[in-house]
Chains A and B, each alone.
Chain A
């Protein structure tokens, strides 16, 4: 991984198996988030390749990349909820895009996902109307909206997310 001529990390080589909980730890500024951004395609590696099962993510065309990314969920550090949508809409967008569910079913699933993180009843709230911790939990719900095979998180166990909810994601 590199930013221009500045090489951040080299010789990275690891495999994550089904069911693994893979934690990357390091000091501030060591490149944890940058590594994550490479894994989910937000940054491109200077050299090397990333594989999801047999699929070469790095060399995949855009359509294939989208297909791979649909199997993943990402919980961003700040939640990254779309601020002009309600929590239910944040969760429902992925379902709307990638499933054949009708609006009622999407709402139902969104409510379920919110209930799993202790936010039942907050479906119609906007992100700005809830606390930071609740936003992170809602972000977790959104990341899990499509029941992804892989969940990426930049902060696995923020203090605001109860341990039970983290276990659910694992």
Chain B
């Protein structure tokens, strides 16, 4: 680390401050601050120039450059001349290169979504919440990195953003499907049960079907089509554009990244699947009751005291939704990683992820049905 004792100061004459560098300056350890020089300059107000002595500088890297760039800006603000003659030739050349192109003024960006991770209404709110310099994750690549199995755990704000992207933003489509499934179940059930005078059980039919099976399964299928395909397409595109190779060559093992990513996916898929399923279940039940009433508005329907819906059904549905979330995440990540190196391969990967996810969910649903039957749940 470039410690303070690697910089020393000497007053060359009354108006020049000599900054002496020594030792090895390495980026990995940290950066000294130009405020060290600033304090020296404040203590001697008559200083009009800064010079450098690097005879004892053993080795250097970007840490020296960053320090000098900051110092250069400080000198410019104070109107102090910076004499670079004492710097190594390589440092002088790089400083010249860094200053060769003037800074571009930031262009105004327009048309940002309010859901933009860094800008827009949500982005600014999160900035205020987590601080301006907070390393706010941005979409999946950032999360892949954040979820690496080292000290950098996935930040809470990243989880929140993932849930927002894959959960809350999927609510409209899930709601629509829920509404339609609820209506279909109610109509089909009412028509059939009416033959036996058992319309009163339509509510049970819709409620139990939604809570135990259909809620979790339909949400899982929707998530497979929406989120699973998105995972596969994004990972596939990253592969095509060599972004995954870049992760690997950075020393972040791809296998580690993706296994961590998969775990990450499971987590938020569970959460979002559960929340969506709850939302959908309510919608489905509501519509089921409503339709039942419209078909057979007899007093017995309204006199039905309660449905035979218990906590076992509820927890069974929640458990299934968690498993379906895992399957969606697995299929999306797996097909994305297996993607080829062409644009058509990305499309194939997305398609394959959806198909794999749906097949896995339906198969799991069948297995659950058998197991629950055997266990008497």
Interface residues of A (CB under 8 A from B): 37, 40-42, 62, 65-67, 69-70, 72, 74, 76-78, 80-86, 89, 93-101, 103-105, 107-109, 112-113, 115-116, 118-122, 124, 142, 146-147, 164-165, 168
Contacts and interface: CB of A to CB of B under 8 A. Distances in A.
Closest 8 CB pairs of A and B: A121-B104, A84-B139, A118-B101, A80-B242, A121-B103, A147-B61, A115-B98, A66-B251
B106 A124 contact: yes
Contacts of A142: 246
Contact of A81 (B66, B97, B138, B243): B243
B243 A82 contact: yes
B249 interface: yes
A108 B67 CA distance: 9
Interface stretch (B23-31, B273-281, B327-335): B23-31
Interface of B: 1, 27-31, 61-62, 65-66, 69-70, 93-94, 97-106, 118, 133-135, 138-142, 145, 150, 152, 238, 241-243, 245-246, 248-253
Contact of B27 (A42, A89, A109): A109
Instruction: Give the residue among A66, A74, A82 with the most B Cβ atoms within 10 A.
Output: A82
Contact of B253 (A62, A74, A81): A62
A80 B241 contact: yes
Nearest to A42: B245
B42 to A, nearest CB: 21
Contact of A112 (B98, B106, B118): B98
A146 B27 contact: yes
Contacts of A146: 27-28
Nearest to B97: A116
B251 A69 contact: yes
8 contacts: A42-B248, A69-B251, A78-B242, A86-B138, A99-B29, A103-B134, A118-B101, A120-B102
Contacts of B152: 96-97
A99 B250 contact: no
Given A109-B66, A120-B101, A104 B242 contact: no
Nearest to A114: B98
Contact of A115 (B69, B141, B145): B69
A70 B141 contact: no
Nearest to B28: A99
Contact of A121 (B27, B105, B133, B150): B105
A74 B104 contact: no
B165 to A, nearest CB: 11
A76 B93 CA distance: 25
A70 B61 CA distance: 15
A97 B70 contact: no
Contacts of B145: 93, 97
Select the residue from A67, A94, A105, A122 with max chain B CB neighbours within 10 A. Answer: A105
B141 A101 contact: no
B140 A41 contact: no
B104 A120 contact: yes
A93 B245 CA distance: 15
A50 to B, nearest CB: 14
A83 B133 contact: no
B135 A96 contact: yes
Contacts of A108: 31, 66, 69-70
A85 B142 contact: yes
Given A80-B241, A105-B31, A108-B66, A42 B98 contact: no
A98 B245 CA distance: 18
Contact of B141 (A65, A83, A100, A168): A83
Contacts of A72: 249
Nearest to B144: A82
Contacts of B142: 82, 84-85, 89
B246 A74 contact: yes
Nearest to B68: A112
Contacts of A69: 248-251
